[in-house]
Amino acid sequence: MKKIFTMLFIIMVLTACGTNASNKDYNTETSKEENNAETTKKDTKSETTKKDTKSETTEHNYQFIGESEHWEAIYSYKATEIWGGNGKQTTHSSKDNYVLTLKYKGSLEELSSMKNLEYSYETTISSGNKREAYPDPPSEKVFKTSGSSVNGAMVGKDEVIKVNVKWDGFEESFELHNKDK
pLDDT digits (tens, 9 = 90+) for 89-124: 899 999 999 999 999 999 999 999 999 999 999 999
Q: What is the pLDDT of residue 24?
A: 37
Q: What is the pLDDT of residue 163?
A: 98
Q: Please, are residues 158 and 178 in contact by the beta-carbon 8 Å criterion?
A: yes
Q: Would you list the DSSP string of 29-46?
A: HHHHHHHH--SS-SEEEE
Q: What is the pLDDT of residue 54?
A: 78
Domain chopping of the chain, boundaries = 1-36, 60-79+93-178
Q: What is the pLDDT of residue 47?
A: 54
Q: Would you list the DSSP string of 133-158?
A: E-SS--S-SEEEEEEEEES-----TT
pLDDT along the chain (181 residues), means of 10: 61 51 36 36 53 81 98 98 88 95 96 96 94 95 95 94 96 96 70
Which pTM was predicted?
A: 0.71
The verdict on domain 60-79+93-178 having CATH code 2.60.40 is yes
